[in-house]
Chain A
Amino acid sequence: MRKKTIVLIIGFMFIFSLFLFSETADSILKKTEDKMIGAKAPKDTEAVMIMEIHKGSSVKVRKLKVWTKNNLNSDDWKLMKFISPADVKNVGFLTISENDMFLYLPEFHRIRRIASSSKKDSFMGSDFSYDDLSSSGFSKNYTSEIIKETDNVWVLKLSRKKGVKKPYSKIILHISKKTELPIIMESFDNSGNIWKKAEEKTKRIGKYDVVSFIKMKDMKKGSWTTLELKEIKLNKGLNKKIFSKRFLKKRVK
């Protein structure tokens, strides 16, 4: 009888733990995505972005205007326009979906579709790739499992799903329990070596926690780039016309 009870308890604990961990990893990721791109995220964002590219002793500063629209049941839209420096002013980058990315080069008066081979490329000399800046969410492309939990942080391991064309084979995601947003993201290449490490900071604006600062370090090259969002305006009711090739060509004020 006693033996039976022990087996029952162990079996129950095993089933419970399986249920607990698999559910927890997915539910944590869902919570995070809800706050990043889902129902708990701002409907739209307009901000000024300061990009600092650090290579050795040199620091290059780029200023951009960014607009994002959170589409609940489809891909998010993003538009970035360079304000400075002068040689890239009015260069624009539009993301409609992961397969529809466009770059506007005013020097050539042309809008060019970005092929998937370019998505892993550096975005305008920074440590961010086009894919880093266009991706929204993880669960579509990665399976998740919880590998560590502390009082303040969940650590998830995200593994690329079969057949998915994403540059990172694996991502280790540290999520703050307080904000439910990522604070550290370590991305690995196809050989399983660490490639990039992103550290993120959030800011409370109204009822929203918004990622306002990212430091992206290329662990292979040693260079890093920071992105800081300033003058953040949320839920302005941005017109969908902004996320079009028409607006992509327009001069940024």
Chain B
Amino acid sequence: MKKNRLFFIVFMIIVFSITGFSTEKNLSVSGRVKFFGSVFLTDNTGKYFNHDSGDFGLKRLETRLKIAGNLNDRISYNLRFDGFSNSGTLFTKNSFPESGILSSPVYSEYFELNLYEANIMISDFLIDNLDLTIGKQRISWGTADKIGVMDNLNPIDFANFFTFDPDYAFEKRPQTALNFEYYTGDNSKIQFIWLMQHQVSPLPYGYTLLTKQSMKVNNIEVSNNWRNNIKDSNFGIRFSTNLFNIDFGFSFYNGNISLPIIKSYMLSSIPSAEFFYGKEKIVGTDFSTSIGGASVWGEAAYIIPDDSSGLIQVPVVLNNNFIGVRNINFSLFEKGFFKYVIGGDYNFAHGFYINFQYLHGFFDEFDYSKEAEKYFMKRKGEFFGEISDYIIPDIEYKFHGDDYKIKLSGIIEISDKTSWTLTPQIELRIADGLILSAGGFFVISGDETKTKFGEFKKDKLFYLSLKIDF
């Protein structure tokens, strides 16, 4: 029913855009059609993937429809719908693949629709130099390239992270917000953001089952400690300016952690675990400038998680008789901790480009207390683990008027153990707006159990992508 309603809305918008609004000269309709297909090159029965060499990883057809327009010089609107489908057929164990009542293949074909963005922007709202954007929007903070520690207003798309589609690497999901931007001078801006929803990162398909299996628990309970009211909303404030050719930013975020954190572990007759979405405050600063022809940037964030306690419940057995349970309570996190990133890029002659970042603290990492490390076995080199360090290099070579691009990116995990991940890519611009790319995801070294990316050592894959923008 929900899906049908969405179809109806999309259909009406398209009809309106073609008929009713077509005379509106400011209306712009654009979009994308994209195919992304990946094939595993290795066998694996691992924690995250189970496949043989030659198995398809993902066969995804993606469409994007963007509608934007201006009501007048001050008011504009922006919509983006994303649709995803898979070339497979949707089988269930209990029935044949049937169609919908109008013979639409809605029940037998994979299809998902997402309202990615929908917002209205009012320039000079109430006073001069104040812009207000209301609605679902992407608000990007910080100066780092790709992975930063300041860009906390939109949750990471953790589901697409596992598709290995480079277009979605470290993608953040837009959120519904009131975004006030006040320009105080040629170079300065004060921004206040009130997020009208709590942030939750989408997790990969099957992640609940995976968590149960890896933790050897029967049940998982997920909770949050927020209330759906104004007082408990997420918000952020940022001041950015330029001094002596250096762009500076100072920001404060008060909101929830967008990823689930383990809170308790019950080792009773029916083992279970509880996860929760905690709250945090982040004080941050960032800069960017150019030194000796290179761009240089940096971000530092001091993260203060709200007081959260962890619990482990262990059965007490005496002479083979269960006599009760013992609760061990402890603080989950250290009081406050830093994450930071520093990086730079440089354009060499003849189309060579190099980009380098040093990162302390991936988006899913926290500084857990000693007790949490002990009881929940939190450590470096795992997802949702302790803070680790990474080098993120990127080398590109463009030629023939930017029509061809060869790119070699990677992530080098340099914590207690080291892992090397390489993501080579070749891109060909066949025509304006039409790009064919091929590449791979290869973890070439790293301990499979003690590094974050080493776990994907047997998940080497090759992908092909074709996209057209119109």
Q: How far is the CA of A61 from the CA of B295 in the complex (A)?
A: 30
Interface residues of B in 323-358 (CB under 8 A from A): 345-349
CB distance from B381 to the nearest CB of A (A): 29
CB-CB under 8 A from B138, the residues of chain A are 109
Q: A253–B70 contact, CB under 8 A? A: yes
Q: How far is the CA of A89 from the CA of B181 in the complex (A)?
A: 23
One of B183, B187, B290, B469 near A115 (C-beta < 8 A)? B290
Q: A117–B433 contact, CB under 8 A? A: no
A-B contact number at CB 8 A: 83
One of A60, A99, A120 near B432 (C-beta < 8 A)? A60
Q: B290–A122 contact, CB under 8 A? A: no
Interface size (B, Cβ < 8 Å)?
38
User: Per-residue 0/1 for B382-415: is the Cβ within 8 Å of any A Cβ (1 yes, 0 no)?
Assistant: 0000000000000000001111000000000000
Determine if A87 is an interface residue (Cβ-Cβ < 8 Å).
yes
User: Per-residue 0/1 for B252-296: is the Cβ within 8 Å of any A Cβ (1 yes, 0 no)?
Assistant: 000000000000000000000000000000000000111001110
Name which residue of chain A comes closest to B434, CB basis: A87
Q: A115–B347 contact, CB under 8 A? A: yes
User: Per-residue 0/1 for B183-215: is the Cβ within 8 Å of any A Cβ (1 yes, 0 no)?
Assistant: 100110100000000000000000000000000
CB distance from B66 to the nearest CB of A (A): 9
CB-CB under 8 A from B348, the residues of chain A are 117
Q: How far is the CA of A240 from the CA of B294 in the complex (A)?
A: 29
Given A113-B288, A251-B68, A251-B78, verify A87-B469 contact (CB < 8 Å).
Answer: yes
CB distance from A228 to the nearest CB of B (A): 18
Determine if B245 is an interface residue (Cβ-Cβ < 8 Å).
yes
Given A86-B469, A100-B245, A223-B401, verify A115-B30 contact (CB < 8 Å).
Answer: no
Q: A244–B346 contact, CB under 8 A? A: no
Determine if B11 is an interface residue (Cβ-Cβ < 8 Å).
no
CB-CB under 8 A from A87, the residues of chain B are 432-433, 435, 469
CB-CB under 8 A from B16, the residues of chain A are none
Given A87-B433, A89-B30, A251-B28, verify A113-B295 contact (CB < 8 Å).
Answer: yes
Q: B289–A113 contact, CB under 8 A? A: yes
Name which residue of chain A comes closest to B344, CB basis: A115
Determine if B423 is an interface residue (Cβ-Cβ < 8 Å).
no
CB-CB under 8 A from A109, the residues of chain B are 138-140
Interface residues of A in 103-122 (CB under 8 A from B): 108-110, 112-118, 120-122
CB-CB under 8 A from B400, the residues of chain A are 55
Determine if A125 is an interface residue (Cβ-Cβ < 8 Å).
yes
Determine if B76 is an interface residue (Cβ-Cβ < 8 Å).
yes
11 A-B pairs with CB atoms under 8 Å apart are A60-B432, A86-B30, A113-B288, A114-B290, A115-B295, A117-B293, A117-B294, A121-B347, A246-B189, A251-B70, A251-B78
Which 8 residue pairs are nearest across A and B when measured between Cβ atoms? A117-B293, A125-B402, A115-B290, A87-B469, A85-B432, A115-B295, A109-B140, A86-B469
Binding site for B on A (CB under 8 A): 53, 55, 60-61, 85-87, 89, 99-100, 108-110, 112-118, 120-122, 124-126, 223, 240, 244-246, 250-251, 253
Binding site for A on B (CB under 8 A): 26, 28, 30, 68, 70, 76, 78, 131, 138-140, 181, 183, 186-187, 189, 245, 247, 288-290, 293-295, 345-349, 400-403, 432-433, 435, 469-470
